[in-house]
Amino acid sequence: GVKLTADAPAAPAEKPRRLDVAILAALLLFSGLIVFDRLAPRSKPIAPPAAVAEAATPASADAAANNVGLPAIDRSKSIAVLPFRDFSPGGDQEWFADGLAEEILNSLARAPDLLVSARTSSFKFKNSDLEIPAIAKELGVAHVLEGSVRRAGDRLRVTAQLIRASDGFHLWSEN
């Protein structure tokens, strides 16, 4: 039969592991980017003005002939993922911050309609004090994702911010 016994002692609550927190932060960030993509206003693709095409020189006419039939690039759906900053007291999480930014970049690069600046291009601005509009102009993107990682003891905080490149204003932020 079944015997009634004393209650089992309550086990202490398990603390979340750093990897679990990092994965959760990356998923939140990615879901925010998907929401932004769905809600962002759509614009028409950028195409060169007809006057420029008519005034083409022979050399540029040859180059233009090679691009016949290619769709114009819609830069309104472009992004650069900058390296995340390590704001940990010990400054020992740079490897994690860089890896997280690279994982986000690789996830975004899988989106078929999104142009994502290459890691080597984006990471050249690591520790740069250039303003976001200047960085975005050099990379040719409409949006920039930047963020930070902060670890203190067994707590990890990841912050990500999506910024409109044209004016440097935040479109979305999550931590």
Q: What is the pLDDT of residues 161-170, one digit of tens each?
A: 999 999 999 9
| CA end-to-end distance (rounded Å), the chain | 53
The closest alpha carbon to 108, from 136, 149, 78, 137, belongs to 78
Q: What beta strand segments (E) does the chain contain?
A: 78-81, 85-86, 115-116, 143-152, 155-164, 170-174
Per-residue pLDDT band at 127 (split at 50, 70, 90) = confident
Q: What is the CATH number of the domain that holds 28?
A: 3.40.50.10610
- Decide if pLDDT at 153 tops 70: yes
Query: Is residue 143 in some structural domain?
Result: yes
Query: Is residue 6 in some structural domain?
Result: no
Query: Is residue 54 in some structural domain?
Result: no
- Residues sharing a CB contact under 8 Å with residue 79, sequence separation 6 or more, in sequence order: 108, 114, 115, 116, 117, 141, 142, 143, 144, 145
Range of the domain at 81: 18-41+72-174
Share of the chain above pLDDT 70, in %: 62
pLDDT at 2: 72
At 43-84, the pLDDT tens digits run 555 544 444 444 444 444 444 455 555 566 678 899 999 999
Query: Is residue 131 in some structural domain?
Result: yes
pLDDT, averaged across the chain? 78
Query: Is residue 10 in some structural domain?
Result: no
Q: Which of 20-24, 51-55, 89-93 has the highest mean pLDDT?
A: 89-93
Query: Is residue 163 in some structural domain?
Result: yes
Give the chain's domain count. 1
Alpha-carbon distance of 175 to 163, in angstroms, equals 15
Query: Is residue 93 in some structural domain?
Result: yes
pLDDT at 117: 93
Q: How many CA atoms lie within 13 A of 129 on its CB side?
A: 0
